Amino acid sequence: MPELRAWAQRCLLDTDPVSKTDEVARMAAAYASGACTLDPSAALADSPAIPGRPARPELVPPRQVGRRSMATPEGRAMLVHALAHIEFNAVNLALDALWRFAGMPAQYYADWLRVASEEATHYRLLAGHLATLGHAYGDFAGHDSLWEMVDRTRGDVTARMALVPRTLEARGLDAVPPLRAKVAQAGDMAAAHILDIILRDEVGHVEIGNRWYRWLCERQGLEPYATYDAFVVRYRAPVLKGPFNLEARRLAGFTDEELERLGALTGTDGEAQAS
């Protein structure tokens, strides 16, 4: 039988979004049915080909991605493409968290397999909607900010949990509701429905990051807040700015103290409206 972490690594190396997301679905089904083993202690060799991704889209600095106006069909297509790019990177992120870090409890790997499966579904939904707008993934430029943090934290699972799911991905909890309102106002209810699914699932993904970050801190005798602040400086994490979706963040496992710290750090206690 295939071994889960090695399978995840092979899937991560796949450069084709369609075959990668299909393989994620097969892997999740195999693990759920017992047709796949798990070896948390296996030492797997890294590869310079990680992450596997297609030749397009062209990767550019974030400011060069271009404006995405809701007033034009092209602008709406650019927005859906940007979301598809985020979700494709999120598939790679989850696969990397699954294979890279040995010695974690079995539930850790099951959790990240779930994340990979749900992110693959998000990508397929967005790519399908993009096709209805006359475009395909790769037609517009994208940026690589999310994967850059994944790469920086490749040697420390605690830093990875702190700065990717519970920092960068958590920003999606704040961004999705106002974005959903914009696409709905533009009349794209299909995109609005997809964003509803993404927000629902992302709450669970951020909760996974929060839960494993706290577990790792407790196991190592680390104070979570001071450790997080040190990681932000060491790995050059972005400064978070409000407004924040406090309802979604609470559901994702952030404590009231953490939410108060966000307000203190950014100088705002504004709250984004939940969808």
- Give the model confidence (pLDDT) of 23-73 as tens digits: 999 999 999 999 999 999 999 999 999 999 999 999 998 878 766 778 788
Flag whether 30 is in a domain.
Answer: no
* CATH number, residue 105: 1.20.1260.10
Look at the pTM and tell me if it is higher than 0.85.
yes
Indicate the length of the chain as a whole number: 275
Helical H segments across the chain, by residue range: 4-13, 17-33, 73-100, 106-132, 145-152, 157-163, 170-185, 189-220, 224-234, 246-251, 256-266
Whether residue 15 lies inside any domain: the answer is no
Determine the angle formed by the axes of helices 4-13 and 73-100, rounding to 10 degrees: 140
Query: Could you tell me if residue 23 is inside a domain?
Result: no
- Read off the pLDDT band of 266 (50, 70, 90): low
Asked if the model's pLDDT at residue 274 lies above 50, the reply is no
DSSP string, 172-184: HHHHHHHHHHHHH
Residue 123 in any domain: the answer is yes
* Total of domains in the chain: 1
The reported pLDDT for the residue numbered 265 is 63
Q: Which of 14-28, 69-83, 134-148 has the lowest mean pLDDT?
A: 69-83
Res 124: pLDDT: 98
Please check the confidence at residue 270 and state whether its pLDDT lies above 70: no
Task: For Cα atoms 153, 158, 163, give the angle at the middle one, nearest 5 degrees.
Answer: 55
Distance CA 128, CA 21 (A): 13
Domain limits for position 155 = 71-266
